[in-house]
Amino acid sequence: MNIKDTIEKKLSEVILNVYQLKEINLEIQENKTEFEGDFTIVTFPLVKQLKKNPESIGVELGEALTEQSDLFESFNVVKGFLNVKVKNQLFIDNFRSVTNDFDAIEKKNSTVMVEYSSPNTNKPLHLGHIRNNLLGFSVAQILKEAGYDVIKTQIINDRGIHICKSMLAWEKFGHGETPETTHTKGDKFVGNYYVEFDKNYKKEIAELVAQGVGEEQAKKEAPLIKEAQKMLLDWENGDQKVRDLWNEMNSWVYKGFNETYQRLGVDFDQVQYESNTYILGKDLIQEGLDKGVLYQKEDGSVWCDLTDEGLDQKLLLRSDGTSVYMTQDLGTAVERFKAGNVQKLIYTVGNEQDYHFQVLFNILKKLGYSWADQLFHLSYGMVELPEGKMKSREGTVVDADDLMAEMYETARVKTEEIGRLEGFTEEAKAISYEIIGMGALKYFMLKVDPKKKMLFNPKESIEFNGNTGPFIQYTYARIQSLLAKAEYKYAEVSEVVLNQYEKELIMLLANYKNIVEKAAEALSPALVANYVYDLVKSYNSFYQNQPVQIVKLEDETLKQFRLNLSDLTARTVKKSLELLGIGTVDRM
Residues 525-560: pLDDT tens digits?
A: 999 999 999 999 999 999 999 888 999 999 999 999
Residue 412, CB half-sphere, CA atoms under 13 Å: how many?
A: 13
Cβ neighbours, 10 Å, residue 16: 13
Query: Distance from CA of residue 73 to its chain's centroid?
Result: 42
Task: Please give the Cα distance from 389 to 378 (Å, whole number).
Answer: 22
**Side chain identity, residue 350:** G
Q: Are 505 and 539 in contact (CB under 8 A)?
A: yes
Task: Please give the Cα distance from 444 to 422 (Å, whole number).
Answer: 26
**pLDDT of 394:** 45
Please report, for the chain, the start and end positions of each structural domain, with discontinuous segments joined by +.
3-86, 160-266, 282-322
3-state secondary structure of 550: helix
Cβ neighbours, 10 Å, residue 418: 9
Q: In sequence order, what are the residues at sequence separation of 6 or more whose Cβ sits closer than 8 angstroms to the Cβ of residue 429?
A: 412, 415, 421
**pLDDT of 443:** 97
Q: Are 478 and 484 in contact (CB under 8 A)?
A: no
**pLDDT of 88:** 92
**pLDDT of 320:** 85
Alpha-helix residue ranges (DSSP H) falling in 73-222? 88-100, 127-145, 161-173, 179-182, 186-210, 215-221
How are beta strands 39-42 and 81-86 bridged, if at all? antiparallel
The CATH code for residues 3-86 is 3.30.1360.70
Helix axes 88-100 and 500-510, enclosed angle (nearest 10): 40
Task: Please give the Cα distance from 316 to 296 (Å, whole number).
Answer: 10
Residue 271, CB half-sphere, CA atoms under 13 Å: how many?
A: 13
Cβ neighbours, 10 Å, residue 325: 14
**pLDDT of 461:** 85
Task: Please give the Cα distance from 267 to 158 (Å, whole number).
Answer: 19
Q: Which residues of the chain have pLDDT under 70?
A: 1, 33, 387-397
Query: Distance from CA of residue 174 to its chain's centroid?
Result: 39
